[in-house]
Structure 1
Amino acid sequence: MNALAEPLLDRWLADAELLAPRAGRDLWLREGSLLLRGWGEPHRRYHTAEHLAEVLAALDELAGAGHLDVREALLARAVGWYHDLHYDPSAAPGSNEHRSATMARDHLHALGVDDTLVGTVEDGVLMTATHEVRPGGVEGGVGARVLDAVHDADLWILSAPSPRYAAYRAQVREEYAHVPDHLFRAGRAAVMGGFAGRERIYRTDHAHAAWTAQARVNLADELADLA
């Protein structure tokens, strides 16, 4: 068993009890098993339980810095659990996120999660397709803060220490092994160049202050390698 499976399942059970208190432990466990199977699919290299754990850790950091209150942090983690639940490297752009959002909506409804919360989670998953957050977010300030936090947590990897960033680059290349090298390099340069060209990579004040410098170093080094 993946070393992350047990702690992730424990985290899911704690979140599920808050999200769907009436569903009961059997349904929480069944959904947790489904989540771990999805994140553990053998064709994945980067979009794995490791990425999920990193996103949850980044959300914890943002909550600890005061960006999210308890309820917002729970919603943001719910987005984290589902945002790459479906992942096919050969799918059309946006397809994985749309399918993951549909799974989040259907599964959370089946657990009895409130419709308003499900809507915020679905919006958060869809946002990860482009990492563009609509001004004002959804559901007023709460939705905006959740989307901003998910945006930053999913992009935490850009600010990872150099060895982890190098491993991330290798994992992404393995996931897209079916893409010829010249096409992969051009596509990757376009995506990473888009992030590097942003005036502000991260939307929350904490991530902007704490993560930007290393992210810009990583992006510059990778773009130089891709040139």
Structure 2
Amino acid sequence: MATPPPAEREDTNHPHAELRNRWAAALEEARAATDEPHSASDPAPSPYPYADNLLARWAEPQRRYHTTDHLIAVLDRVDELAAHAADPAAVRLAAWFHDAVYLPERSTNEERSARLAERALPEAGVPQARTEEVARLVRLTRDHDPRPGDTNGEVLCDADLAVLAGSPEAYAAYAAAVREEYAFVPDDAFREGRAAVLRHLLGLPKLFRTPRGARLWEAAARHNMATELELLTG
């Protein structure tokens, strides 16, 4: 992420004004832990150019599911689960970065997204330790299998997977959007690859690791995925 231009003011007429402000609040929260605050002569850079860079990434034309709507949904779920996390600020930033780099034909999206965070966050005034935690969390979304006791990872992974527990109609729309992102893949190959993803998730001892996620989403998500898997392989 290139160095943003000089500080910009909040733009209340921006089409993503609320999201930009959510990013600004998350960045301010994350900066607060630093032991080396910017001096008055070297102020922290404006958060808004960073927000605009990220939002442009989330709006790229190849995306059908991994869009700003998905970002909003994950941020909302993180807010819902935040009390479970050891460092909610890091989790919120990880939500912003977790699909910031997304090319459906690549298998390196999580790694590239993590590296983007490693470049951008120190420049934006986030302490190194928290930057490293954000990058770790982004990489964790490749497999969605946090270690026991990794409360930050549990919150981010649960928030990212919450879409699996939607109503049958919402889940069908999600599955259709995923297929659109992989429109370049022939049907047989897509069914095989998608079935492998579903089997991996269904094979996890638990899909949702937070108490709230396990209580509210586990059964519905497993039902939805089992139904999709049956349709794919039936």
TM-score (norm 2): 0.85
Deviation readout 1:153-203 (Å, 9 max, x if unpaired): 111111112221111101100000011100000110111122122221111
73, 81, 85: which one aligns with 1:68? 85
Distance 2:26 2:92 in 1: 8
What percent of counterpart residues are identical?
40
Distance 1:205 1:4 in 2: 35
2:144 matched residue in structure 1? 131
Runs of 4+ in structure 1 deviating by more than 6 angstroms, as ranges, are none
1:158 matched residue in structure 2? 164
1:120 matched residue in structure 2? 133
Secondary structure of 1:155 counterpart: helix
Aligned residues: 212
**CA apart distance, 1:28:** 0.5
Distance 1:122 1:5 in 2: 25
**Greater shift after overlay, 146-155 or 18-27?**
18-27
Structure holding more helix per residue: 1
Please identify the structure whose Cα radius of gyration is greater.
2
Distance 2:146 2:73 in 1: 21
Deviation readout 1:21-78 (Å, 9 max, x if unpaired): 6486853011011011010111110111011111111111112xx3136xx2221111
**CA apart distance, 1:147:** 0.9
Distance 2:203 2:15 in 1: 34
RMSD of the TM alignment (CA)? 1.8
84, 90, 105: which one aligns with 2:99? 84
198, 201, 223: which one aligns with 2:204? 198
TM-score (norm 1): 0.88
1:140 matched residue in structure 2? none
**Greater shift after overlay, 194-203 or 177-186?**
194-203
> Which segments of 5 or more consecutive residues in structure 1 lack a partner in the other structure?
137-143
